[in-house]
Chains A and B, each alone.
Chain A
């Protein structure tokens, strides 16, 4: 429907207007294409992809994409997903990276990301730490914050991350970690759907570098629930604060 302007008259006027502005400024992807837009905004660079696979699959895709970008030294800072799109932002100019093929978009969206990347990212991700905190609370390992006892609660909240790391190093098969993984696989990931999407769109990725945000990207930019990436970008920021120079190479 999105790709076919003839059907737009069935949509409310505002929506069809929105889509035609999108067509003017960027591209409207056809049914089997994946549109990827890249543009600068503020002092960051954004990548927005529109797989239309639902929030769960997008959330997983976000984890995996940022993991890959981190490994390819693109210094991602975070991502956010909604039901039809995913946005990733970082310190490096995505348009230039993809133009120089470091990495190319095809490499980035390759199906093999569901293998090792998934395992490794999962283990380090904040999403899992949060799931772990819930599991640990239910197990009675840590206490929830109570009114009037905020300080204690917060201290233990911080510690649940530490406990997670310690368990991961020393008891990777601990029952709480198993539970966490199960919970996460059930709640956060939609791997089957993601795999189908990746194989469908391979070699059908349309990249559109833009000077500024496109109409289709506005809703995702307003989305709440942003996920941060703790990686090299943080060190780059520390270095910039310390020396006044941004070192992104």
Chain B
């Protein structure tokens, strides 16, 4: 295990979610110990090139590489049996085709020796071609349901992405905003893992009906640390 990985291991937070042990990794991914499952959400691969392809806006196309490198480090660190990408893995339906060969090879190397599951998202409704891995709309593992968009009517044991949660606090007159995990006893929403993604404040209306206000918690990610923040500390 390399030095970097060791430092980060001590800084992640272990939580109990429906009798399962999950580690909230400060890189923005989730590791399920019992299942040896690494979950990442909203990679938005090839988002940079998508602007060029669709709108003629030429934005630097290196976001995919940055995201893949970050993902590779986490895979190396956790050595998971399974990797689950929780939707919006590709920024648009054609993004997997635009993926340069070197990145494809990088991905297949990561997939070697482990299961890889692509969950579909609103940005990538159809399965990526020639990339390997299995594809599904949502997946049930043990007592947890994984899907891209959180469903308010679904009550127990859901882990989702889609919303790119970020939280803001105000301390000593200074506000600090960070990507975060957000959840209560029944549902957990993952931060976006992609390097070229924004965030949506967890107090935004888009989260209405998803959490019970009483037990809402957010885990803010800053550098190599994860900070557990109670709901009353959060500001819009």
Whether A235 touches B173, Cβ cut-off 8 Å, given contacts A141-B57, A169-B66, is no
Tell whether, in the assembled complex, residue A242 and residue B228 are in contact, meaning their CB atoms are under 8 Å apart.
yes
Q: Interface size for chain A: under 10, 10 to 19, 20 to 34, or 35 or more residues? A: 20 to 34
Whether A158 touches B222, Cβ cut-off 8 Å, given contacts A169-B62, A241-B227, is no
Docked complex Cα distance between A169 and B220 (Å):
25
Q: Is B140 an interface residue when CB atoms closer than 8 A count as contact?
A: no
Taking a contact as CB atoms closer than 8 A, the residue among B174, B198, B222 that contacts A159 in the complex is B198
Q: Mark A221-249, 1 if CB is under 8 A from B, else 0.
A: 00000001000011101111110000000
Whether A235 touches B62, Cβ cut-off 8 Å, given contacts A91-B172, A241-B169, A242-B227, is no
Taking a contact as CB atoms closer than 8 A, the residue among B62, B176, B178, B233 that contacts A166 in the complex is B62
Q: Is A57 an interface residue when CB atoms closer than 8 A count as contact?
A: no
Tell whether, in the assembled complex, residue B233 and residue A235 are in contact, meaning their CB atoms are under 8 Å apart.
no
Tell whether, in the assembled complex, residue A237 and residue B196 are in contact, meaning their CB atoms are under 8 Å apart.
no
Q: Is A171 an interface residue when CB atoms closer than 8 A count as contact?
A: yes
Taking a contact as CB atoms closer than 8 A, the residue among B62, B65, B198, B227 that contacts A239 in the complex is B227
Q: Which residues of B contact A234 (CB under 8 A)?
A: 174, 176, 222
Q: Which residues of A contact B42 (CB under 8 A)?
A: none
Whether A166 touches B196, Cβ cut-off 8 Å, given contacts A43-B172, A77-B174, A239-B227, is yes
Q: Is B225 an interface residue when CB atoms closer than 8 A count as contact?
A: yes
Q: Which residues of B contact A192 (CB under 8 A)?
A: none
Q: Is A184 an interface residue when CB atoms closer than 8 A count as contact?
A: no
Name A's interface SS: helix
Q: Mark B201-236, 1 if CB is under 8 A from A, else 0.
A: 000000000000000000010110101110001000
Whether A162 touches B229, Cβ cut-off 8 Å, given contacts A237-B176, A238-B222, is no
Tell whether, in the assembled complex, residue A235 and residue B225 are in contact, meaning their CB atoms are under 8 Å apart.
yes
Whether A43 touches B229, Cβ cut-off 8 Å, given contacts A166-B66, A169-B66, is no
Q: Which residues of B contact A240 (CB under 8 A)?
A: 171-172
Q: Is B7 an interface residue when CB atoms closer than 8 A count as contact?
A: no
Whether A155 touches B178, Cβ cut-off 8 Å, given contacts A141-B57, A238-B169, A242-B228, is no
- A190 to nearest B CB, angstroms? 28
Q: Which residues of B contact A44 (CB under 8 A)?
A: 172-173
- B68 to nearest A CB, angstroms? 13
Q: Is B63 an interface residue when CB atoms closer than 8 A count as contact?
A: yes
Q: Taking CB as reference atom, which chain A residue is nearest B227?
A: A242
Q: Which residues of B contact A155 (CB under 8 A)?
A: 198
Tell whether, in the assembled complex, residue B174 and residue A170 are in contact, meaning their CB atoms are under 8 Å apart.
no
Contacting residues of chain A (164-216) with chain B, CB-CB under 8 angstroms: 166-167, 169-171, 174
Q: Which residues of A contact B195 (CB under 8 A)?
A: 162, 166
Q: Interface size for chain B: under 10, 10 to 19, 20 to 34, or 35 or more residues? A: 20 to 34
- A43 to nearest B CB, angstroms? 5
- A161 to nearest B CB, angstroms? 10
Tell whether, in the assembled complex, residue B59 and residue A43 are in contact, meaning their CB atoms are under 8 Å apart.
no
Q: Which residues of B contact A141 (CB under 8 A)?
A: 57-59
Tell whether, in the assembled complex, residue A241 and residue B229 are in contact, meaning their CB atoms are under 8 Å apart.
yes
Tell whether, in the assembled complex, residue B60 and residue A170 are in contact, meaning their CB atoms are under 8 Å apart.
yes
Tell whether, in the assembled complex, residue B174 and residue A237 are in contact, meaning their CB atoms are under 8 Å apart.
yes
Q: Which residues of A contact B66 (CB under 8 A)?
A: 166, 169
Q: Is A220 an interface residue when CB atoms closer than 8 A count as contact?
A: no
Tell whether, in the assembled complex, residue B176 and residue A238 are in contact, meaning their CB atoms are under 8 Å apart.
yes
Docked complex Cα distance between A152 and B29 (Å):
28
> Which of B58, B59, B222 has the most chain A CB within a 10 Å cutoff?
B59
Q: Which residues of B contact A171 (CB under 8 A)?
A: 60, 62
Tell whether, in the assembled complex, residue B58 and residue A170 are in contact, meaning their CB atoms are under 8 Å apart.
no
Q: Which residues of B contact A170 (CB under 8 A)?
A: 60, 62, 65
Q: Which residues of B contact A163 (CB under 8 A)?
A: 59-60
Nearest first, the 5 A-B pairs at minimum CB distance are A242-B227, A237-B171, A170-B62, A238-B227, A241-B169
Sample of 20 further A-B pairs with CB below 8 A, known A238-B169, A241-B176: A42-B173, A141-B58, A155-B198, A158-B198, A159-B198, A163-B59, A166-B63, A167-B60, A170-B62, A233-B174, A234-B222, A235-B223, A237-B169, A238-B178, A238-B220, A238-B222, A238-B229, A239-B227, A241-B171, A242-B227
B residues neighboring A (CB under 8 Å) = 48, 57-60, 62-63, 65-66, 169, 171-174, 176, 178, 195-196, 198, 220, 222-223, 225, 227-229, 233
